[in-house]
Amino acid sequence: EVELLESGGGLVQPGGSLRLTCVASGLTFSNRYALSWVRQAPGKGLEWVSGISGSGGGTYYSDSVEGRFIISRDNSKNTLYLQMNSLRVEDTAVYYCAKDPAPRVRGAFDIWGQGTKVTVSS
């Protein structure tokens, strides 16, 4: 069974940093699949945060996190990362990793993780 498992969430103070990790099982990342991070604030809808192409050569961000978050991947480790810096209260959310079935970010997420919770609070 193909699964994505996120980790690294937790409680952090405003201005702090966290690194989220997403590991795939039952699936080889390879450069054939783009990956994204999508978040969901408490009681709110889904918000796309960032995406990375299959090769890792293309990285994309929403305006709300541009300049603060960095997405990366290590295909040899089947792992996706999200380095989150200068965290704000409004970054509080469950963060999902999601896989596109093609090398470019498209939003056709055929596999979703179960999410990791990030709380930014003093």
Partner 1 sequence: QSDLTQPPSVSGSPGQSVTISCTGTSSDVGYYNRVSWHQQPPGAAPKLLIYEVTSRPSGVPDRFSGSKSGNTASLTISGLQPEDEADYYCVSYTNNTTLIFGGGTKLTVL
Q: Which residues bind partner 1 (CB under 8 A)?
A: 36, 38, 45-48, 51, 58, 60-63, 96, 98, 101, 105-110, 112-115
DSSP 2-43: -EEEEE--EEE-TT--EEEEEEEESS--TTT--EEEEEE-TT
- Across 53-110, the runs of DSSP E, i.e. the strands, are 59-61, 69-74, 79-84, 93-99
> Closest distance between partner 1 and the C-beta of residue 48, in Å?
4
Of 116 and 120, the one with the shorter C-beta distance to partner 1 is 116
If the CB atoms of residues 6 and 120 are measured against partner 1, the closer one turns out to be 6
Please state the closest distance from residue 6 (CB atom) to partner 1, in A: 10
